[in-house]
Structure 1
Amino acid sequence: MLASNPLPALWHFACEWWFRYEIVLSLFIVGALIEARRPVQHLQSRAVIRLNLAYSAISTALGQAARPLTAAASVWIVNLLGGGLIVLPAHGWGVFVSVLALVLTIDLLEYLFHRLQHAWPLLWRMHSLHHSAESFNVTLTTRHYWFEALLKGFLMFPLVGVLFRVDPSIAGIATLVFLPVNFFAHMNLRINLGRFVTWVNNPQYHRLHHSRRAEHFDKNFTQMFPLWDRLFGTMWTPAPHEWPPTGLDDAAEPASVLAALYWPLRRRTGGDPAAAVARVAE
């Protein structure tokens, strides 16, 4: 029997991938235009920016390819654990309550997962790709090791389905809320939010999380609301003129897209915050 024509499926995959990457590119462009107004670093590596753009295209394709697998795994886990313990409203003013509940829950899970990424050596080997950038700018937003998205699909996101039974459209809205905040937090933008600097994640608050200075290690983990850093004792409130250099303590950084794709397998593991703190203490 002749195999069915794979071209329509490939075309559909390519269209979905390009649509997602168009969104990312649009946010990169808008972010770069905003950054140009008041940059923290005036001279940044164009080679690194090109690497970030290319790596984002590949990691987006890998994530798109893995979506059916992670979606099926999430449904299986939720059904296995008897998901939907709390039914969230899908009509009227209850929609706002539902979106808020999902946003707070996802943000807390993101915070906890981020803590694990810095605490467990295997997770840190992957996550250190994101921290390796000395050029801190909006194109860094999506420079996460591609396998981390799979881990979230299998381990973290099903927990939301176990806790809540919610209309898919509301879940989509809650997920989209994180998008602009995440891109904003990675901007190379000198902005003074004053007393609001610890209200929502922003370029200065998150830059301290990427800092190479030992006093900033394991601080400011939040993705959206610094509330979690305050509650769990990991908040570092930035001083008005505190804009530290970023990157790993050994200055390791991928020199190519290929190097980024096999980053955790590289010979040197450098940049472990715990190791850096130990060296400072000595």
Structure 2
Amino acid sequence: MFASGPFPDLMNHASIWLRAYALGLVMMAAGAALERRWPAAMLQSRAGQRFNVAYAGMYLAMVEAMRPLTAAASIAIVNALGGGMVVLNSHGFGALASFVIVLLTIDVLEYAFHRLQHTWPVLWKLHSLHHSAVEFNVTVTWRHHWVESLIKGCLLYPLVGVLFKVEPWIVGLTSVVFMFGNYFAHLNLRVDLGRYITWVNNPQYHRLHHSNRTEHFDHNFTQLLPLWDHLFDTQWVPAREEWPATGLDDGTQPRSLLEAFCWPLRLRAERGAGLRSAKPVRMPVLDKETK
């Protein structure tokens, strides 16, 4: 009796959200197990990790709730701009080449958008929530403001559809690669890749991007391949024992889920009261291990 109503669509959305949240929990649990075995920083707060997991549930719920809007906006943008200018092959070795092309395109777009997040005050207000985590670990992976997902879904990702006409499964496969890469990059894991440290984004390389030291600011923006940092001169190759402290320079972070949800509004209120600038002033804070 629900076949002609909205119930099947609602159930489908709920099912997708539950699977995404379950996968997120599994990835966080696997990452936490690795972090306990080979931690880069010891004795991290359990309360902070629980906060991040709870926020991840709220964030994923918001992303799923916005999915119809972002999907409609994406389709409208792609159609309006004559999407699919280049037709990519989806068979045999051609499919592999198409996968690489889409992967590199999304990665360079993510790099460009990430640099804008650190340049434009409005975007920084959103993105600073991610950087406010004073403890760097796998639970930080989903600590993004929900508006960022709306912006990417409506503006950034449709650019791929404008550029390429490609089978959805190829784009879906690249999203899986980015998902695993994102979890890996945020691990509190002491892993030494040696000469290969600039081949792929990794826990030490990305930790420097979250560093609260002045010399590390505005470096290592890449989502997957450090190649872009190298080409655009934003790369900082970490030394063997370079594992800096992370977070905003003034230690500001949300004290509740509601405060995280309304994070940019809080920063605006503080600026209006003369407590801080549009972009938080970041002062160097030394890591205890390197003093």
Q: TM-score range by the shorter chain?
A: over 0.9
**2:282 is matched with which residue: 270, 276, 280?**
276
After the TM superposition, which segments of 4 or more aligned residues of structure 1 sit over 6 Å from their partners?
271-274
For structure 2, the residue ranges without an aligned partner over 5 or more in a row are: 285-291
Output the CA distance in 1 between the equivalents of 2:92 and 2:176: 20
Three-state SS of the structure 1 residue aligned to 2:105 is: helix
Q: CA deviation at 1:38?
A: 1.1
**Which string of whole-angstrom CA distances, capped at 9 and with x for unpartnered residues, describes residues 232-260 of structure 1?**
00000000000000000110011111111
Report the CA distance between 1:115 and its aligned residue. 0.3
Q: Cα distance, 1:16 vs. partner?
A: 1.8
Check whether the contact 1:249–1:271 (CA below 8 A) recurs between aligned residues.
no
- Pairwise CA distance, 1:51: 0.9
Query: Hey, what does 1:193 align to over in structure 2?
Result: 193
Between the aligned partners of 2:207 and 2:179, the Cα distance in structure 1 is 17
1:71-110 pair list within 5 angstroms = 71-110=71-110
Pairs aligned (count): 275
Distance (Å, rounded) in 2 between the aligned partners of 1:9 and 1:150: 20
Q: Does 1:42 align with 2:48?
A: no
Aligned to 1:146: 146
> How far apart, CA to CA, are the structure 2 residues paired with 1:162 and 1:9?
27
Give how far 1:23 is off: 0.9
Superposed displacement of residue 11, structure 1: 3.5
Secondary structure at the residue paired with 1:96?
helix
Aligned to 1:180: 180
Equivalences for residues 115-264 of structure 1 within 5 A: 115-264=115-264
Q: Tell whether the 8 Å contact from 2:39 to 2:188 is kept in structure 1 after alignment.
A: yes
SS at the partner of 2:25? helix
Of 216-225 and 258-267, deviating more is 258-267
The Cα of 1:204 is off from its aligned counterpart by 0.2
TM-score by length of 2: 0.90
Any idea what SS the aligned residue of 1:119 has? coil
CA contact (8 A) 2:212 2:282 kept: no
SS of structure 2 residue aligned to 1:276: coil
Give the drift of 1:274.
7.8
Query: In structure 1, how many angstroms separate the alpha carbons of the residues matched to 2:94 and 2:132?
Result: 42
> Could you list the per-position Cα deviations for residues 71-121 of structure 1 after superposition, in whole angstroms to 9, with x for gaps in the alignment?
111111111111111111001111110110000000000000000000000
Deviations 1:202-259 (A, max 9, x none): 0000000000000000000000000000000000000000000000011001111111
Q: Over aligned residue pairs, what C-alpha RMSD do you find?
A: 1.8
Unaligned runs of 5+ in 1: none
Write the distance in 1 (CA, Å) between the matches of 2:188 and 2:237: 18
Aligned residue identity for 2:82: G
One-letter amino acid of the structure 2 residue matched with residue 254 of structure 1: P
How many Å separate the matches in 1 of 2:282 and 2:66? 35
Shift of 1:5: 6.5
Deviation at 1:174, TM superposition (A): 1.3
CA distance in structure 2 between the partners assigned to 1:62 and 1:228 by the alignment: 30
